[in-house]
A and B are shown apart, each in its own frame.
Chain A
Amino acid sequence: MKKTLTAKQTYMLITIPILALFVCFNTVPLIRGVIYSFTNFKGFGDYDWVGFRNYIDLFTDPRIGNSYLFTIKLAIVATIVTNVISLILALGLNSKIKGKTFLRAAYFVPNVLGALVVGYIFQYIFTYILPELGKMIGSETFSTSMLSNENTAWIAIVVVCAWQNIAMNTIIYISGLQTVPEDVYEAGDLDGATGWKKFRYLTFPLIIPFFTINMVLCVKNFLMVFDQIMAMTQGGPAQSTESISYLIYNNGMKGGSFGYQSANAVVFFIVIVVISVAQMSISNKKEEQL
């Protein structure tokens, strides 16, 4: 044992145990999940193979369909809202303002707070504060809680998701804007570019890589939304805010349809991979064009 190991052996001795750990707690459960998806396992006791039964049922189950619709709708709307507001905020925070350091730090605060507790705080706002405000201004739509109406509850979730994610996206846009060299603007000034045009044709193309990062981060976060749902609506009212992750947790872990929700999780996994790959190839193309 006194003999020192060669470089090659050392690399192997590092890689193998860590890789084994990864396989044990990532690959193995992934495979087990796929296997369960072909069974009628309840989470305990015996189970039988059911072939593709679960997958066929998934596509005719309105509850599953609704949860995909809700999650995708949330992801799209929240991504747009978050990115528009963050970009405006970032432009503001990057301009010549007073108290820049303080403002940047303050706008970042929501990002460090736990989503669950933030969800609880906003639940209170939507249940008690907003309806009171609605009554004060005499608005019928706002005088009842948004969270108890199945047509508006999802909007409340969008607000909370955006409130937290704007912090992160803004900081990323700011670091993008800082990479734009000053002389680009000077050249733009000479050509007479102003306001929107300056942003559209000068600034934005230069920060597209950062836009891509934000899109990918947002879509991934929002598709996997869980804490906010858990805190604010628990999937209600009338299952109108059941995100895919929440449904898998609620029915699979607690409701006993382990096998069936495993099939749902497999489909969800494929959806995430397809969306991520599509996003990356689209943005790669865009960057190449520029």
Chain B
Amino acid sequence: MYEKMKARVNWPVTILLFIGLLTIIFPLYMAVVIAFKQPSEMTTSISGILSLPRTWSLSNFAQAMEVTDFWRSLGNSLLVTVLTVVLSILLHSLMGYAVGRNKAHSKVYNVVYLFIVSGMFVPFAILMMPLAKQTAEMHLANWAGVILLYVVFYMPMNLLLYTGYLVNIPIALEEAARVDGASTWRTFWKIIFPIMKPMHATVAVITALAVWNDVMTPLVIMAGSGQNTLPLAQLTFQTQFGTNYNLAFASYLLALIPIIIFYVICQKQIINGVVNGAVK
């Protein structure tokens, strides 16, 4: 394969693609240089904005961390994301199993399946006002409520993925276990759950990315709780200090760094996960 491919590299396309990459690098480059500069270094000319900073001082970052309560926001974001992912994998795979193994022959399970999957069409816009009221009434206007809501919001998508995957798992495996006297519950955890591993990876990636970057749910649900997630912290920061761009960009970069690190480490899994999720 390699000899054949290496034979004719398409150089014009390669060069064009590297040039095109500038559209992605430029905004990030700009964010980095502005974040390292002092307001006095900023002139209105483009060269003033885009030139490298005179000194690579971390003072903007230190100040931004303090103002946005960075570590706590980061902690909240991590907590919400990790718990949502874990709960989604456990509950949605269980649900996928119970529904997927029965919907072919049971009308009830088929209705449950269609009922939940059609939840995909419900925009958050119609839910947000009633949910803001409901979570307040239930004392869930906090990170716990946000997690619960995510588990519900991503259920349609994940149920679709898990039941789709289950079709490929031969039922004979379970029957063998059942003959050996294992209960359905045990069979799931011992046999099915481990086999679903590739789908767990997909679900984890899609759910984690969506939750980590989501602004709307925490904004609507926990805005009054005095707690922030990382994106929410940027929003409050923007309304207070939006005019100090050097500080603002330091804060934006801090918000982007965790996900960029995650991407660099797990890019293969992330890309595969996202594609699997979309193509199913």
Which residues on A are within 8 Å of B, measured CB to CB?
4-7, 10-11, 14-15, 18-19, 21-22, 24-26, 28-30, 32-33, 36, 43, 89, 92-93, 95-99, 103-118, 120-122, 124-125, 128-129, 132-133, 136, 163, 168, 171-172, 175, 210, 213, 217, 223-224, 226-227, 230-231, 244-245, 248-249, 252-253, 258, 261-262, 265-266, 268-269, 272-273, 276
Contacts and interface: CB of A to CB of B under 8 A. Distances in A.
A97 B256 contact: no
Contact of B245 (A124, A231, A269): A124
Given A226-B215, A245-B216, 16 more contacts: A29-B130, A30-B130, A103-B18, A107-B21, A111-B274, A117-B256, A120-B252, A121-B249, A124-B30, A124-B245, A125-B27, A171-B271, A226-B216, A249-B128, A265-B125, A268-B125
A273 B120 CA distance: 10
A42 B13 CA distance: 58
Question: DSSP majority for the A interface?
Answer: helix
B201 interface: no
Contacts of A108: 267, 270-271
B65 interface: no
B121 A276 contact: yes
Nearest to A265: B126
Contacts, number: 243
Interface string B133-173: 11000000000000011011101000000000000000000
A5 B126 contact: no
28 contacts: A5-B185, A7-B178, A7-B184, A11-B184, A15-B112, A19-B112, A21-B152, A24-B152, A25-B152, A36-B129, A92-B17, A103-B17, A109-B24, A114-B259, A116-B234, A121-B28, A121-B30, A128-B44, A168-B274, A171-B274, A175-B275, A210-B279, A223-B123, A227-B216, A245-B124, A252-B128, A253-B128, A253-B220
B178 to A, nearest CB: 8
B129 A25 contact: no
A124 B243 CA distance: 11
A113 B275 CA distance: 17
Contacts of A29: 127, 130-131, 134
Contact of A117 (B20, B116, B231): B231
A248 B128 contact: yes
Interface stretch (B53-61, B68-76, B91-99, B190-198): B91-99
A22 B152 contact: yes
A248 B130 CA distance: 12
B interface SS class: helix
B273 to A, nearest CB: 11
Contact of A163 (B21, B23, B220): B23
B199 interface: no
A230 B215 CA distance: 10
Count chain B CB atoms within 10 A of each CB in A25, A103, A210 and give the residue with the most: A25
A114 B245 CA distance: 18
A132 B44 contact: yes
Nearest to B181: A4
